Amino acid sequence: MADAARHSHVADVSRLLMQLSWVAQKQVAFSVAQHELTVPQFLTLTILIRARGDCPMNQLAEATHQDAATMTGIIDRLERLGLVERRRSHEDRRVVLVAPTAQGEQTITLVKQARDQMMMRLFSPLDDEALAQLNQRLEQLWQLLEAHARQGYDCATD
């Protein structure tokens, strides 16, 4: 009986994770759209800001899991919006470097501030203890998922 109950709990957690993932994806898409960005553009701009300097297009494509042509389109739109600048490398003219502009950095700051405010409203019904417990459980889940991802996914055993 314990196995059946455990299986039921695991199925419930799996279902909730899928639902949370779907809602989170929709929320991110909505929040970045308020700043005329798509999710891939937001992620690209965020990675550029974290890089703290020029980033070669090929590394940017790899970091965002995009192919070169898709990354070119993303950067074209971000450049038209005034959020990034593109230039050639002085060492190798074949290499295209991309960096965020001040406007790009400000846009990401605004998106993150809006998200922080939304999260504060979302969790306002929870007291500090409940929020700390939730954080602890989510951290445990994150560690489990990361450990599983590092092991790789083998269809033959799962």
Three-state secondary structure call for residue 84: strand
pLDDT band at 148 (very low <50, low <70, confident <90, very high): confident
Sheet containing 55-56, strands listed edge to edge, beginning at the edge strand earlier in sequence: 55-56, 96-100, 84-88
63: burial class by Cβ within 10 Å (0-12, 13-18, 19+)? Answer: middle
Q: How far apart are CA 12 and CA 34, in angstroms?
A: 33
Which tens digits make up the pLDDT trace of 86-143?
999 888 888 889 999 999 999 999 999 998 999 999 999 999 999 999 999 999 999 9
Residue 152 has pLDDT above 80, yes or no: no
Domain definitions of the chain by residue range: 30-142
Residue 157 has pLDDT above 50, yes or no: no
Class (C level, CATH) for 30-142: mainly alpha
pTM: 0.78
Q: Across all residues in the chain, what is the average pLDDT?
A: 90
Summarize the confidence of residues 51-71 as an average pLDDT.
90
